[in-house]
Every structure is written in C-alpha cells, then in structure tokens.
Amino acid sequence: MINNPHAKIFVAGHDGMVGSAINRKLKKFGCKNIITKSSDELDLRNQEKVDAFFQDQQFDEVYLAAAKVGGIHANNQYPADFIYDNLMIQTNVINASFKNNVRKLLFLGSSCIYPKYAPQPMKEEYLLTGAIEPTNEPYAIAKISGIKMCESYNRQYSESHNIDFRSVMPTNLYGVKDNFHPTDGHVIPGLIRRFHEAKLCNADSVNVFGSGNVLREFLNVEDMAEASILIMNLEKKTYVDLTEPMCSHINIGSGQEITIKELAKIVKRIVGFKGKLQFDSSRPDGSPRKLLDTEKTELLNWKPKISLEDGIKDSYDYFMESILGGVSNFDKSNF
C-alpha cells in the first residue's frame, strides 16, 4: 500500500482522532520517518511559525488531518472559532507545503460540505449545487475552501512544480481518541458518555437531541485511516482518472445508514443503560440524510472492515479505559 516507506511524512493533527489513526496505520504499514507536532509545540494557525517549520523539515508528504471539529451544538455555539481556526490551519499548511517542495498532500474534509437537500447518496459532483445545512455552515465552508485550495494549486502548479494535492471526504467518523463531551462532541461519543453516566446514577431516562428520525452514515476512524493512506498512495494516473480537475475529492464512507433512534438503541444496549429514551425535538436535527456515494472507493476494491456494533463496543472500551477518570463529575441535568 505504501509507495515509499522512507518518505519524510508530516501528520498534521496527530493528537486528534483522525490524525492519530493515520499515524498508527502509517507505522503499521512500515513508514519509518513520521514527524508530528502537538498544538502546544506548533500553532498551525500561525503562518510564520508554520512556514519556518516546513522550511526546516523539508517533508516529502503531508497528511492534513488537523482541524477544529465538533457536533451540532458546538458548531452552533462557536461558529467564528470553527471558520477561523480551520481556514487558518489548512491555508498555512497547504501553502507552506507548496513553498517548501512537498510533492504530495492529502487534505481531509467532511461530508457536511454537501448541500442540505442533496440527492442521496451524495456524489462528489453535488458539491456547491445547493445551500449548506445552516448549523455547520462555517465549518463546511472552511472545508470546501480546503478542497478548492488543493485543486487550485494543482491546476496552477502541478506541471511546473510537480505537486499532487489530494482531498478525501469522510462520512461521520467515530473511534479511539474521539471527543466524549456530552453536548459538544459528535453523536456516538456523546451518547456513550451520557448513557454511561445515566447508568451510574440510575437515571430513569436519557434525552437524545433531535427527533431521532434523521438518517446518518458512520465509519470507524481505523477504516478511514486505511482508506486515506490507500488514496494518498494511488498512482497519479489512477487518481486523475477517478476525479476531475475541479471536482477532485473522493468520498469515503460505509455505504450504510441508520436512524439516530436506532443508533441510540444500539449504544444504550452496549453501555447497559436500562432506562428510557426521550427525544428532544426542540433541538436541531441537521440534514435529513447524509449518505455518501462510494463508487470511487468501490472501484479501488476498498470496503470498511469494522461493523458499526463492533466499532461502538471498541469506542466504549476506549472510553472506559482512557477517558472515564476525567469525567466522574457529571451533570445530572443532562438526563
């Protein structure tokens, strides 16, 4: 899968869920020269420091997984943070890569880039064909800008500077190193924490945000990392044949969707909470459906390996082992 195991690779965002999974997979596949920096060591929003870092390191490849992420609540509460942080991070990293002769870069986006009422499943060419879901518009616009930045650098400099900047759009991700905040995180880790804490205090019920009727697609981050590395290491001709110069991103998803209500029942069973589910329709649902068309990855003979139930069990195990000590003082008003 790896074309050059001796390449000097920068994984931006290695402390996060996606970046850490890519880092683990690269090591598993035999990559020996992986460079990482925590946000305390290098603020990717600082152009001067990013430029100096890239000039000093002279990377061969970059995986741009660094981002500010969160669920519907966080996107609604902190729209300025989401658009500013993400625009600054990706702009600095992509431009510094170009200026310092990085030949290959993979930008990781999000399925929220597609219109709220896009036909299902969502093909790559549906991008910019309609209005975005308002609850995550700032984040989505930042991610669209990242795609278009990679495309624009390719269009202007691929021949003269031999660059190859690619983009992948994952569906809703979950897994190790997820954000288990009960309101600011994404749906699976948020439900895991809230059901666990409800079990501890013998709550009668747990409120689930939204009607529970919307459909969502989920993918374990370990599968996402494997697909990302596969796409990064495709021969350039293969990647070009799969994409278009101004529609160059590739969807990565499971191809399966489930209602939030059915998802909540699965998490409830795995956690062992015995109380009732109550759905709070006063909270926003977001897009009615978000199923990605995965024809391109199917042509590459790639399919996810981890089932949703197994993945949630692994996430709960991770929560119990690595996170639980920091969340013992829970807020009973959540239930």
Please give the chain's pLDDT, 335 residues, in tens: 798 999 999 999 999 999 999 999 999 999 999 999 999 999 999 999 999 999 999 999 999 999 998 777 777 889 999 999 999 999 999 999 999 999 999 999 999 999 999 999 999 999 999 999 998 899 999 999 999 999 999 999 999 999 999 999 999 999 999 989 877 778 999 999 999 999 999 999 999 989 999 999 999 999 999 999 999 999 999 999 999 999 999 999 999 999 999 999 999 999 999 999 999 988 888 888 999 999 999 999 999 999 999 999 999 999 999 876 544 333 444 43
318 as an active site residue: the answer is no
**pLDDT score for 215:** 95
Structure-block tokens of residue 281: 């329709």
CB 335 within 8 Å of CB 198: yes
Query: Which residues are CB-neighbours of 114 under 8 A, at least 6 positions away?
Result: 122, 126, 127, 132, 290
Q: In the chain, where are the structural domains located?
A: 9-334
Structure-block tokens of residue 65: 């997984």
**pLDDT score for 71:** 73
**pLDDT score for 331:** 43
**pLDDT score for 330:** 37
Structure-block tokens of residue 58: 């002279």
Residue type, 228: S
CATH class of the structural domain 9-334: alpha beta
Taking the C-alpha atoms of residue 211 and residue 62, their distance in angstroms, rounded to an integer, is 40
**pLDDT score for 329:** 39
Q: Tell me which residue of 73, 74, 12 sits closest to 42, measured CA to CA.
A: 12
Neighbours of 297 (CB within 10 A): 22
Q: Tell me if residue 216 falls in helix, strand or coil.
A: strand
Catalytic residue among 139, 153, 239, 318: 139
Q: Tell me which residue of 11, 130, 14, 142 sits closest to 75, measured CA to CA.
A: 142
Burial-class residue 136 by CB neighbours within 10 Å (0-12, 13-18, 19+).
buried
Burial-class residue 308 by CB neighbours within 10 Å (0-12, 13-18, 19+).
buried
**pLDDT score for 325:** 58
